[in-house]
Structure 1
Amino acid sequence: MSRPAGNARLKAARVAAGYPSQQDLADALGVGVRQIRRWESDTPPWPHPDMQTALVRLFGQDLAALGFTAPDGRDQPAPTRRRVISSTLAAAAGLATVPRAAAQTRQPASVAADFESVTRSHRRLYWSVAPTNLHPAATAHATLGCALLPETAGATRQRVAAALAETLLLAGRVEFFDLQEPARAQDTWLRALQAAGEADDSLLGAAVLAHTAFIPGWAGQREQAVERMVAARTYARRGPADALMLAWLDAVEAECETRCGNTRTALNLVRHAEDVLAADGDHGETPEWLDWFTPVRLAAFKGNTELRAGLLPQARTTLLAVLDELPDTDEKQCTVILGDLAAVEAAAGNPEEACAYAVRALDQLEVTWYATGMDRVREVRRALAPHQHETCVRDLDDRLYGWSTTVSALAR
């Protein structure tokens, strides 16, 4: 006699969702492994109401699709909120929403690792690849992630959603910092927040919300920026966030306050961030994706705030130390630091030194384009208007409006 197959549907859904053993699923649901064995038997009992909801939420399928037969008169649990979020993400990506009855395709658990590997590659490529080349790849990867979500469940679905959130966060960073398209970045970050909610990843949610604060912050809209930072800090507490993440939130808020003209408040926030890093309490682990912030980057925030506060000697000292400590691979940030040093010298009435730093920034921009860095150079040139007839300023103009630099700027 052949051995009974048991509830093959539930077993297949369990494995595809990333729970290779019955014990793994039991742990995820908070039940004993004996209960899972009963559900995967030839005659699985109808789950209790709380377990019905948990199973539907975990696997994204109704109980009939999971191999359960409802007793007469029993209702199925309603679709979960996560299904609604997935549909919203799919619609935003331009994908047709798959009808519930037709959504039978199930990806294997390995799809999560494969999708994550591309996300990690894009994260590393951001620092060297031209934004106009990286952005289409990242957005295409995000479209794939939106298509995969309805085809995954459980731990697999959660991992795909988290990688999708990170991909959308990266795409928004390119749009805001590199392509200077804040409205587009706002839409992308909204989708990133939805994906972070799908993954139930509070730290990713905090990172996305803090990035959205840059948009009103850079526009001088302080109330909106502060409101978004309050939301970001709320999500970070749920994480819980580690010292580096908490310091970065201070740095983001400091930059927004600086842009809104509140440099004293900004410097207080920077000092608080320095204290957080110095204490380095046991708050949590640093997320792998938090690669855009380090103690050196905090010092860069500080130097810019000191510059805008008119504390020129302090700004010069801070920024020179940053330039000395900045890794060679941090080419984009290098253009920003050189631009800020040029601004310090321009404000101090040293046009030759200002032009020398600005030219160094342009040299780097020809290697790695960064719109934020070019903005710094243009600000310096405007500040040098009283010295525009001096040779060093004319030489700067020759570089600033050379064929390659002008074409690159206009193309972006």
Structure 2
Amino acid sequence: MSRNDALRAARLRVGWRTVERAADALTEHGQQLLDDRHFTVSPRTWRRWEGERPGWPAEETASVLHDALGRWPEDLGFTTPPGWIRPEHHEEVAVKRRAFISVTSAALVAGPVAPQHVDPALIDYFQTQLEGHYRADMLLGPHDLIGTVSAQYQLIDKLVRSAKGETRRGLLRVGAAYAALIGWLYQDAGDIDGAAFWRGVTQEIATRSRDRHLIGYSLVNQAQVRTDLGDGHAVIDLCEAALDDADRLLPKVRIMAIQQQAHGASLTGDRRAVDQLIDAADGLLSRIDDDLPWGNACRRTPGYLEVQRATCYGRLGLGRESVALWDQVLNVVPATARRDRGVYLARHATAAAGAGEPEQALEIARTATEIALETRSARMRRELTTLERAMLPWQDAPIGRDIAEVLAPVTKGI
């Protein structure tokens, strides 16, 4: 019989070593929380929860489980019933919805607007600002930057409506780059709906600009969202579309599309294609010679393509090969790239667990957790949750309890 490992891991994390101890502890916790001495959970009930068909607890029991374990039942392996909305989620949804409407209104301003003169020099101004936003993203993370970049996009959109000729085309091009950055910020913040919305805006603005390079870039942006959704075939489709007439594309756009296609191949389990694609992208690196402000991760990121290969290997379950690559990559990542370094460390730790080296995974995880708490990156939290699952084979051993304690400040309550 399969087990509900998520609930079992949560139980062990708080020190409830047996089902009987868990039932007694939750009963005591619930009686205090609800001020109801009749609240009880039996060992038989808990044993069913950890079994193949855990069912769904009553609403007050769900609240007690959340208060005791830091997670709602849908995150503890229970079978979520249709229409369930956790009690605290109502307000969360309202707050997130207000924030989303506020920011996305930047892309939905009704037109037309009052005409104004638009100086062509504004294109360079916004491009220069974009460079600064990329640097700020590395230092601040997504949450503090989304509003600022979105407000500038709104101004660009307003100017596009008055600009003419090449000035208008130039503003459309820079607007597409801003929309792409906003989409990335949402993706890094863990809001896939927001990311998908802004990736769609990017594709629209790129198409309106008639710039084939930006159109290809926008398709890669869409593929990145599909990668996070685990849809490997969609990733490949989008990257192949971006590479139509590849000889007319800038080398860096081709590199972005090819390496993202490798991620799609890793999601479909095709290791041979991963290596072929990463090698093909590597052959184009020396040909990058444009001065455009967008899409320059392949220039800024040390060991950029080996980062992609290591990530793909980890996804394919090639633990030892992935660990060896992460060892190389992390030696050249600068301290200033703290958030990226945290993501890489989390992936490194997961690869170590996959290679049967839990002690190494634990040591790497200590640093990754510190960075995750500091940067509030949802991307890093997701990586550490993946590590938590990779360490399940050791959950009953002391090393398993140690890793649970290290990860708890980040993964508890996700």
The TM-score, its normalising length taken from structure 2, stands at: 0.68
Q: Deviations over 1:169-213 (max 9, x none)?
A: 00001112x122223222212211222233332222211111101
Alpha carbons of structure 1 residues 314 and 391: separation in structure 2 relative to 1, 3 Å: same
Look up the SS of the partner of 2:138 in the other structure.
Answer: coil
Deviation at 1:105, TM superposition (A): 2.3
Tell me what 2:160 maps to.
149
Does the Cα contact within 8 Å between 2:381 and 2:411 map onto a contact in 1? no
Look up the SS of the partner of 2:140 in the other structure.
Answer: coil
The reply on whether 1:336 has 2:350 as its aligned counterpart is: no
**Match for 2:290 among 285, 288, 291?**
285
State the alpha-carbon separation in 2 of the partners of residues 236 and 136 from structure 1. Answer: 35
The reply on whether 1:391 has 2:402 as its aligned counterpart is: no
Tell me what 1:54 maps to.
none
**Match for 1:372 among 365, 379, 386?**
379
**Residues 224-373 of structure 1: matches in 2 within 5 Å?**
224-234=234-244, 237-238=247-248, 240-242=249-251, 244-277=252-285, 280-281=286-287, 285=290, 287-294=292-299, 296-373=303-380
Q: Deviations over 1:131-170 (max 9, x none)?
A: 1111111112111111111121223222221221111000
Q: Which portions of structure 1, spanning 4 or more consecutive aligned residues, are displaced by more than 4 angstroms?
A: none
The reply on whether 1:96 has 2:110 as its aligned counterpart is: yes
State the alpha-carbon separation in 2 of the partners of residues 253 and 326 from structure 1. Answer: 24
The reply on whether 1:210 has 2:220 as its aligned counterpart is: yes
Tell me what 1:116 maps to.
127
* Greater RCO, CA 8 A, separation 6+: 2
Does the Cα contact within 8 Å between 1:336 and 1:373 map onto a contact in 2? yes
State the alpha-carbon separation in 2 of the partners of residues 320 and 376 from structure 1. Answer: 17
State the alpha-carbon separation in 2 of the partners of residues 323 and 246 from structure 1. Answer: 25
Q: Deviations over 1:317-353 (max 9, x none)?
A: 2110000011222222212221222112212222111
Does the Cα contact within 8 Å between 1:332 and 1:368 map onto a contact in 2? yes
Deviation at 1:375, TM superposition (A): 1.6
Look up the SS of the partner of 1:293 in the other structure.
Answer: helix
**Residues 80-95 of structure 1: matches in 2 within 5 Å?**
93-95=107-109
Alpha carbons of structure 1 residues 264 and 369: separation in structure 2 relative to 1, 3 Å: farther
Does the Cα contact within 8 Å between 1:332 and 1:369 map onto a contact in 2? no
Does the Cα contact within 8 Å between 2:131 and 2:293 map onto a contact in 1? no
Q: Deviations over 1:266-285 (max 9, x none)?
A: 222112222333xx34x752
What amino acid sits opposite 1:288 in the alignment? P
Tell me what 1:168 maps to.
179
Look up the SS of the partner of 1:151 in the other structure.
Answer: coil
State the alpha-carbon separation in 2 of the partners of residues 245 and 108 from structure 1. Answer: 29
- Report the identity percentage: 22
Does the Cα contact within 8 Å between 1:316 and 1:341 map onto a contact in 2? yes
Deviation at 1:371, TM superposition (A): 2.0
- Runs of 5+ in structure 2 lacking a partner? 1-103
Tell me what 1:126 maps to.
137
What amino acid sits opposite 2:278 in the alignment? V
State the alpha-carbon separation in 1 of the partners of residues 383 and 377 from structure 2. Answer: 10
- Runs of 5+ in structure 1 lacking a partner? 1-89
Q: Deviations over 1:233-290 (max 9, x none)?
A: 137543x312x4322222111112212322332222112222333xx34x75263322
Q: Deviations over 1:280-307 (max 9, x none)?
A: 34x7526332232246121011112223
User: Which stretch shows the higher mean deviation, 221-230 or 352-361?
Assistant: 221-230
State the alpha-carbon separation in 1 of the partners of residues 358 and 344 from structure 2. Answer: 17
Number of aligned pairs? Answer: 309
